[in-house]
Structure 1
Amino acid sequence: MSSYYPIMLRLEGKRVVVVGGGKVSERKVSGMLGTGADIVVISPEATAELQRLASSGEIDWKRKSFSAEDLGNAFMIFAATNDYDLNQSIRRITRNHQLVTIVDDPEGSDFHVPSQMQRGRLSIAVSTGGASPKLASKIREELAEQFDDSYEDYLDFLFQARQQVLKEVKDSTIKKRLLSAIVSSEFLTSKDREGDFNRLYEEMKAGT
């Protein structure tokens, strides 16, 4: 099989259609909440959680059977019903510019949703190419233990420090040294990252 190309997608303002109202669809929808995507669920029935999300306005639930018109303007499509033939028919009528995943046919899908963990700005995604979602989840849990909650504040610091370095530091050597230094274990565990960063910056400037 061809290898997949990992990518982080900005879904804000884009229409995502999820066909199916069961637990699998619920998981797919839950993973997209907060992305700003226009999430539309197509299904005569839906789980209690999907109904709650529809009632709160977080998603749009079309309480109906699927029809080809439902895919109009869709950027991304999840064929997530428990009907293999229906899922395949959804695949056949998608257009070339639309991305589709079929929950019971990984090989026929354009993309797979990886097992993901989030620590603020840090996102770690694990995929087995559809071979074993269970293994992907297991690896994700192991990584979650390694990259604990402390990384949330650390990533915020790295973001702010990097913006400052790129804006203020003109010397390319100092810039490179600073950006390398702040990803060290000393800065991860520091109780005063901003103070340590400013002191290091001044020392480097003094040494030039």
Structure 2
Amino acid sequence: MELYPINLKLAGRRAAVIGGGGVAERKATSLLAAGAEVSVFSPELTPGLSALHEAGRLVWVPRAYQSGDLHKFFLVFCATNQADINRQAAVEARAAGALVNIADAPELSDFYVPAHIAQGDLLITVSTGGGSPALARRLKEDIAARYGPEYGQYLALIAKLRPEMKSRLATAKERESFWRETIDHEALYLLKEGKFSEAEERIRHAACCTGPES
């Protein structure tokens, strides 16, 4: 089945995690990092989840999931070690309009959470459609070794200079050509070496040579 790739903005959105173990902790942590409002349903929590609750980062409902709990949630992650509970919660959540991920049954989930590499605002994801998490992890490791922090730094530098470049380069064609040619190994090497000002100057110089004044 072909999947539709999408990156969700979760700031202020409500997400429920059913379960309090290691899988639930990983789900909750990533949801919080994306700005979601997280509620965890479980009689017990891992130390990590307990620390997040004590810090006021998430809501803890200290009991097992019950019917009627899952209204008004945008995302629901079913991550207990009991398959029947996961499926019962998934059915109810889906009926209430939520998107559902079932940790032990990806084939029954509405979506998969891909392996991902984040370097600043640069986000690279790898998905096997739930077919092989091990392969996804291996590919993630290979990609992470290839695209280091300098790529995130480069992206931040581009975002900083974009308004200036837009004023220098009058047409969309000029701007497209400039950005394509500017992504070179030299600028990335400078960033990797910590030479941020030199990398910025290289991009500015390229703009001067490309723009109408050249």
- Normalising by structure 1, we get a TM-score of 0.92
Matches within 5 A, 1:107-122: 107-122=107-122
**Structure 1 match to 2:16:** 17
**Structure 1 match to 2:199:** 193
Matches within 5 A, 1:133-152: 133-152=133-152
Moved more, 28-37 or 11-20: 28-37
1:52-87 CA distances to partner (integer Å, 9 max, x unpaired)? 110001111110121232211100000111111111
Q: What code does the residue aligned with 1:201 have? A: A
The secondary structure found in structure 1 opposite 2:68 is helix
**Structure 2 match to 1:166:** 166
| Structure 1 residue 33, shift from structure 2 partner | 2.5
CA distance in 2 between partners of 1:41 and 1:47 (Å): 11
| Structure 1 residue 168, shift from structure 2 partner | 4.8
Q: What code does the residue aligned with 1:111 have? A: F
Q: What code does the residue aligned with 1:124 have? A: I
CA distance in 2 between partners of 1:167 and 1:34 (Å): 35
CA distance in 2 between partners of 1:86 and 1:188 (Å): 49
CA contact (8 A) 1:158 1:182 kept: no
Q: What code does the residue aligned with 2:137 have? A: S
Moved more, 196-205 or 111-120: 196-205
CA distance in 1 between partners of 2:80 and 2:164 (Å): 49
| Structure 1 residue 206, shift from structure 2 partner | 4.8
**Structure 2 match to 1:67:** 66
CA distance in 2 between partners of 1:117 and 1:171 (Å): 33
The secondary structure found in structure 2 opposite 1:31 is helix
**Structure 1 match to 2:30:** 31
Moved more, 16-25 or 182-191: 182-191
CA 1:169/1:26 → structure 2, altered by over 3 Å: closer, same or farther? same
CA contact (8 A) 1:19 1:78 kept: yes
**Structure 1 match to 2:53:** 54
CA distance in 2 between partners of 1:205 and 1:150 (Å): 26
Q: What code does the residue aligned with 1:169 have? A: L
Moved more, 148-157 or 45-54: 148-157
Q: What code does the residue aligned with 2:49 have? A: L
Q: Which runs of 5+ in 1 are unaligned?
A: none
CA distance in 1 between partners of 2:79 and 2:203 (Å): 49
1:24-77 CA distances to partner (integer Å, 9 max, x unpaired)? 101111222321100110001111111011000111111012123221110000
How many corresponding residue pairs? 207
| Structure 1 residue 109, shift from structure 2 partner | 0.4
**CA RMSD for the aligned pairs?**
1.7
Percent identity, aligned pairs only? 33
Among candidates 186, 199, 211, match of residue 205 of structure 1: 211
Moved more, 171-180 or 144-153: 171-180
